[in-house]
A = this chain, B = another copy of it.
C-alpha cells in the first residue's frame, strides 16, 4: 500500500507519518523507484502501537522511541523486555532520599519480589514517596502494604493473561498492558474512591 492508504487505515495524517519516518519511529517502506515506497501490515501495526502509547499511554515520542527499540531488540526474551521497557517507560531524571530507597528495598524484600537490582522503578517509587513527604503527607506503612498487595495481585493477573504467541506479539502485548493498563487502573481507582468517599462522608446527591 502507498502512504495515503496507510494514512487512511490508521487515521494518522500523511505529514505525521512522514514525520515519524524522519524521526525513526517507523521503519521506511520498501522503496519502489525514486519517489514512492510500499508499506505493509507491519507498518499499520506499528503506527497503531505508536498512537496507542502516545494518545492513551501519554508517552512522549522520545519515550516511545526507547520502548520500540526494546520491542525490536530480538536478542531479548520476553522477560528481559519487561525490565528494559519499564526503564524506557519512565523519566530519567530520578532522585530519591536514602530513607525512601531503603523503605522500598525493604518492601520488595518483604514481599519476596524478584526485581532487577538496577530497576529505575525502585528509585521512581522512592521519589514518589519523597514527594508525598515533602508536602507533609506521610504514606502510612499499612496503606503502603495495601498498595503493594493490590499491585502484586494485579501484576500476577496481568502476566497470567498475556497471550502466548511469537515473541513480537508477546512483547507488544506486554508493553501495551503496562502502558495502557495504567490509565485503566487509575480510572477504576478514582471511581472506587468516589464510592468509598460517598459511603464514608455520605452525600445527599448521588443518583448512583
Contacts and interface: CB of A to CB of B under 8 A. Distances in A.
Interface of A: 48-49, 52, 55-56, 77-80, 82-83, 86, 89-90, 108, 111-117, 119, 121-122, 124-125, 127-129, 131-132, 134-137, 139-140, 142-144, 146-161, 173-174, 176-178, 180-203, 206-208
Nearest to A192: B155
A156 B77 contact: no
Contact of A82 (B128, B156, B197): B197
B190 A128 contact: no
A189 B154 contact: yes
Contacts of A148: 188, 192
Identical copies in the complex: 2
Contacts of A202: 79
A60 B120 CA distance: 24
Nearest to A126: B187
Contacts of A149: 153
A66 to B, nearest CB: 15
B114 A187 contact: no
A194 B147 contact: no
A180 B148 CA distance: 15
